[in-house]
Structure formats: structure tokens, C-alpha cells
Amino acid sequence: MTAKTLAVFVKEALDALRDRRSLTSALIYSLFGPLVMGMALSAVAKRGSEGTLELTVAGAERAPSLVRYLEQNGVEVRRPSVDVRKAVRAGDLDLALVVPGDYAEDFRASRPAGLELVHDGSRSDVRGPVRRVQSLVERYSGQVTAQRLTLRGISPQVAQPVRLAEVDVSTAASRAALALGMLPIFLLMAVFIGAMNVAIDTTAGERERGSLESLLVHAVPRSDLTVGKWMAASAFNLLGVALTVLVAVLVLRWGRLAELDVPLALGTGDALRILALLIPLALFAPALQMLIALFARSFKEAQTYLSLLMFVPTIPGFLFAFQRVDTEPWMHTVPVLAQQVLIGGLLRGEPIDPAAQTVAAVATLAAAAVCLFVTARLLRHERIVLGR
Amino acid sequence: MIEAQGLHKRFGKTVAVEEVSFTARDGCVTALLGPNGAGKTTSLRMLYGLLRPDGGKALVDGADAGGDPLAAQRRLGVLPDAPGLYGRLTAREHLLYAARLQGLSAREAGERAAALIERLDMKGIADRPSAGFSQGERRKVALARALIHDPQNVILDEPTNGLDVPSTRAMRGQVRELAASGKCVLFSTHILQEVAAVCDRVVILARGRVVADGTPEELLARTGEANLEDAFVRLIGTEEGLGA
């Protein structure tokens, strides 16, 4: 590294540290990304646990035995104060049970007594409670059937030719493990966020402010300029990525997941291994971002391109989160995909293959070098320098 | 010494500069005069190594700015069209950065920066971020930056453009002082009073070509006009672009 490279690095780092936008883009995500993930995980882990269900029943006085049955089965029955259909449509109520005026008469006469379960079918979050109420009402109905048949001297078993028992083997831990598949995506996105602003500011931003020309009149090789700027962007990125991993570990350790006894909580060793996998990628991302930003006509345009770029690495991530893909050796040579595969394996508790990790690091750093080389070449192009 | 030898430059199909030749000597102020769009900035950009000529040579003390821009740039201080300062850096930090980019050691950089802050009367703004600077202050920082490595040759692209009267006078004083100390100063302008005030030599550009080259007196004698403005109009053959 030359003294001129160092001068460029010092200047760009100083400039970026004084820029609130660069600092926030490096830090905000690191802090909030894992927190959002932690909240998502604990929500997933919590879902499906059986607690009391609040159910508004209109006309409850017409069906006292049904209400008693519901209350015995963990339902807290509430009386409505408004029109339940309107309330459900407006989203003020999740669901409501309506006992019509002729229910009691029909029930006494052993005619099918109508009940209405009012809910909004487009809301996926009330599907669980709806199913619970449905099955409670069916069980109540079955109980009444049995009583009526017994009264008439018929064995209730005659009316139940088939019985289906559901066995749900999912546990809080396994649901959390599914959601933890999202962790690599969060980490890969962090790699493309920390340096974004610095990468734009030192390329498209420099040209937009008109300082690129006065920079290029100094007797400095373009490679020194490129490397110095890249080092500053990379420093920001490494800071952001390290912070993201740290916060992720803390969230997993002290968040609700620990209470739920999720075996996947990250240890310090795993965190360091993940960081080691991410470092080459954290050096590659700013190199690619600078190259792309140099093609943009303005700061805003560069921002648009790089925001889109941020989502490209998440594509394999999303595929992997929802279905298992077998790892092929060629995957280790593709930046982003390689890290995705290796971190995914690590989270499943598989040991990291040192050869695969080396291949991934070398391929990723080589890609970074290519980006830097092209960027330095582009800084000699009149069109790029003058922004025509 | 700065030499343009038959410079050519095209942008796509537009010919910006055609067969431009002139010499700016040490100890002289040479003005590149011409209406807007005459090719002044393009010619200067070839001389300071930002654009590569399509034909001809741009030489700074014999170093080819087209073939080896860094060699030319080491002998050259440049104040481009736009000062291009970094809003979050102070005036002094700009000078230190430029010094390090030109290859000065940290100690030399500090000394040169302090000397230029003194010489250009920048003490009041030296340690303030440049975002709040006036046009004149910006131009001053950019000039100091161009002089940071004590170059033998100085190129200034419209150095007084947009400045108020005191700043303009200060800038012209600096230009004369540089030439008096033996430097080669080449600057572009479209302002005629400037030429009369500071120049030893004038090169007039119109539509990408050199239409006249000489001392202001020679130009007057050649055209038979009594003042520079009339001489200029006669030489460029039109009144277009004479806003100032």
C-alpha cells in the first residue's frame, strides 16, 4: 500500500465519519436487523401455544350449556357491546359466535340449531382461533348427540363410524429452527448495507459534487485512489457486519428464544466462524458497489441501483430458507451463494469444511479484485469522469 | 512551460477543439480568451491530463500529458472549472489531502499548508468546514490546493468566474505574483478587462480554433482597433457569446 492510498483512505474515512448518513446506514441496520429477526422468531415460537381464547358470543343467554362447555375448555366468553358483524368487518374483533333467536327452540325440539361463526377469512392470523372454536363446537355437538342417542337407548358409538385423531409433532424449537433459516439472509443483507453510502459518496457523489475532477488533477495513480476509497468503505462495512453478528448473538441468547429452550442459540465460537465467513464478502460488496455507483448518473440513481443490489443476494437465501437444496461444490465459488451455503450448514450444526471455506474466500476476494481493477480503469474514461 | 501542439478533440461527432497550438512561457501570464463554448475548458483539460487528445500533443515542461498524465501533473497545479470542495472537510484538511496526494511527506504537507494559509489570508477559515464558505473562500481554498506542491506551472480555468470585486482583485493579484516569481501561468477567461489587467500574452479561441496569439498590444496593432473589445470582436468574427 502506498502513502497516497493511505492518504485517500484517511480522508474518505474521516469524511464518512462526519457524515451522519454514512454512519446511520452502517449502524442502524446492524442494531435493528437482528432485533427484528429476534421478534419474528419469538413470535413464531409463541404461536400455537394453547392459552385462553377470548370469544365474543352474541345471544349467549340462549345457549347456556354451550357457553358453559366453552368456558370449561379455556374460552373466556364475552358479551358484545356492538354489532359483531360490523366489528369483525372493521377488524375490531377477531371473531365472534352468534346465537340466533330461534336457537333455543330448535335445540329443545332436537332440530339442528343454527350457530354463526363470524370471522374475516382473509386474515391468516385468526385461522388458529377459528379452527379452535370450530372444533370446540363440533365436540360439543358430538357430546349432545351422544346424550340424545343414549336417552333413546342407542349406543353413541353407532353414530361415530370413524374417529380421526390429530398428532402435531411441531414444537416451539422446531418452529424457531425453521425461522432461524432466515438468519443467513439477515447477515448477507448486512454485508450489502454497511458500506452502501460510503461507496456511493466516494464515486457517484464525488462526481455529482464536482470534486472528482479536482481530485483527478493530482498526480495519483487511479489504482491508489480506487484502493483507498475501497478500504474506507470496507472499514465501514466490517464494522457494520461485526456489529450485526454481535447483536444477533445477543438477541438469540437473551431474547425469548432462550426461554423457549431453542437448541440453536449461537455460541461465541459459531459467531466467530460466521464472521470469518462474512469478512471476504464484506470486502467484496463495497468493491462491487463502487463499480456500479460509478456507472450511475447521480447519487440518487446510484442509491436506487444499490438498493436493488441489496436484494439480489437474498434470492438464494429465500430459496434455501423454504426448501432444502443440496450443496454442490461449484456453489463455493460463487460469492454470496458460497457464504449462504456455508452459514446454513453451520446453523444446522454441520462442521465447516476448511477447503470449501478457502475456496469461498479466494473466489470472493478475486471477484473483489476484478471489481477494483475495472473501477480503476473506468476512472480513466472521459465519459465516466465527466459523467456524460 | 506549457505547450499545446496541434491539439484535436472530438466528442462523438462534435469537434470541440481543432488544431490548437500555443505556448505559455515561464514568468508570464498567458490568457486563453474566447466566448463560451470556444473550447477553452476542453483545451485545458487536455493539458492537465484529464482528457486524452485525439490528435496533437499537450506538453508540460516536456512531459506528455496525454501519454503520461502523472508526470505532467507533478509539474502542474490546477484550479478546475468547479472548485469541488468536500463540505465536511476544513480548508486545512483540503490542503493536507492535496499535499499527500502530490506525494509530500506529512511534515512538508503541514508546513506548506500553513504557509499557504498565511499567504492567501485564509486564517479565519482554515479550520472551519468548507460547507459554509462563500464563493471567494472556496476559490481561495482551491487555489491554495493547486499551489500546495509548489508547481512550476499553474492552470486556472476561469478563476474569477462568479467572484465579487474584492475577491476578483485578490485573485488577479495572486496570478501576477505567481508569474513574477517565475512560474508559468495559463488561465482561461471570457472577460476582456481581465486580459488587459493581468496578461502578458493572449491566445484567442473561437469555435475550437486559435484565431489570434500575441501580446494585447500586438492584437490591437494587427486589427487596427483602439480597444481590446473591438479587436476581440473583429478577431472572432462575431459578437456571439460576449456577455461580459
Question: Could you report the predicted ipTM of this complex, rounded to two decimals?
Answer: 0.91
Q: Give which of A8, A207, A218 to mutate to test B binding, by max B Cβ within 10 Å.
A: A218
CA-to-CA separations, A65 to A3, A68, A97, A347, in angstroms, rounded: 87, 5, 14, 51
Going A69 to A71 to A76 to A78, the CA torsion angle's sign is positive
The C-alpha atoms of residue A180 and residue A248 are separated, in whole angstroms, by 11
Q: What's the average model confidence in pLDDT over B89-116?
A: 96
Q: Best mutation site among B42, B47, B48, B50 for testing chain A: the one with the most A CBs within 10 Å?
A: B50
Which residues in chain B touch residue A8, judged by CB atoms under 8 angstroms apart? Answer: 101
Of A3, A19, A213, nearest to B80 by CB-CB distance is A213
CB contact under 8 A, A217 and B100: no
CB contact under 8 A, B89 and A219: no
For A19, which of B73, B88, B93 is closest by C-beta distance?
Answer: B88
List chain B residues with CB under 8 Å of A214. Answer: 78, 80, 82-84, 142, 145
Compute the average pLDDT of residues A189-215. Answer: 92
Distances (CA, A) of B195 to B79, B143, B191, B221: 18, 19, 7, 16
Which of A182-186, A361-365, B218-222 is predicted most confidently?
A: A361-365
Residue of A nearest to B147 (CA): A218
B60 phi and psi, to 5 degrees?
Answer: -120, 110
The chain B residue lying nearest A209, using CA atoms, is B84
Q: Which three cell numbers stand for residue B22?
A: 500555443
Q: How would residue A262 be classed by pLDDT, with cut points 50, 70 and 90?
A: low
Chain B partners within 8 Å of A215 (Cβ): 84, 101
The residue of B68, B73, B97, B135 whose CB has the most chain A CBs within 10 angstroms, and thus the best one to mutate to test that interface, is B97
Cβ neighbours of residue B132 under 8 Å, at least 6 residues apart? none
All residues of chain B having their beta carbon less than 8 Å from the beta carbon of residue A4 are: 100-101, 103
Kind of pairing between the strands at B55-60 and B2-11 = antiparallel
Residue B185 pLDDT grade (very low, low, confident, very high; cuts 50, 70, 90): very high
pLDDT at A53: 81
Per DSSP (E only), the strands in chain A are: 53-58, 75-78, 95-98, 116-119
Contact A18 B88 (CB under 8 A): yes
- Confidence tier at A145 by pLDDT (50, 70, 90): confident
- Predicted pLDDT of residue B6: 94
Query: Which pLDDT belongs to residue A388?
Result: 66
Section A29-55 average pLDDT:
70
Identify the top-confidence range among A31-45, A120-134, B179-193. Answer: B179-193
Among the partner residues A4, A209, A213, nearest to B103 by beta-carbon distance: A4
Question: Mean pLDDT, to the nearest integer, of B136-156?
Answer: 95
Find the residue in A nearest to B94 (Cα): A11
**Alpha-carbon dihedral sign for residues B152, B117, B201, B50:** positive
Q: Is B11 on the interface with A (CB under 8 A)?
A: yes
**Residue A347, Cβ density class (10 Å: 0-12 exposed, 13-18 middle, ≥19 buried):** middle
Q: For residue B148, name the pLDDT band (cuts at 50, 70, 90).
A: very high
Are A219 and B85 a contacting pair at CB < 8 A? no
Chain A nearest C-alpha distance from B93 (Å): 8
Rounded Cα–Cα distance for residues A291 and B169 (Å)? 43
d(CA A244, CA A186): 9
Does B54 touch chain A if contact means CB atoms closer than 8 Å?
Answer: no
Residue A98, pLDDT > 60, answer yes
Instruction: Report chain A residues whose CB lies below 8 A from the CB of B101.
Output: 4, 7-8, 215, 218-220
Q: Chain B, 196-235: which have a CB under 8 Å from a chain A CB? A: none
Q: Is B83 on the interface with A (CB under 8 A)?
A: yes
Contact A214 B73 (CB under 8 A): no
- B98 at the A interface (CB within 8 A)? yes
For the ranges A5-19, A147-161, A339-353, the maximum mean pLDDT occurs at A5-19
pLDDT at B9 over 60: yes
**Residues of A contacting chain B (CB within 8 angstroms):** 3-4, 6-8, 11, 14-15, 18-19, 209-221, 382, 385, 388
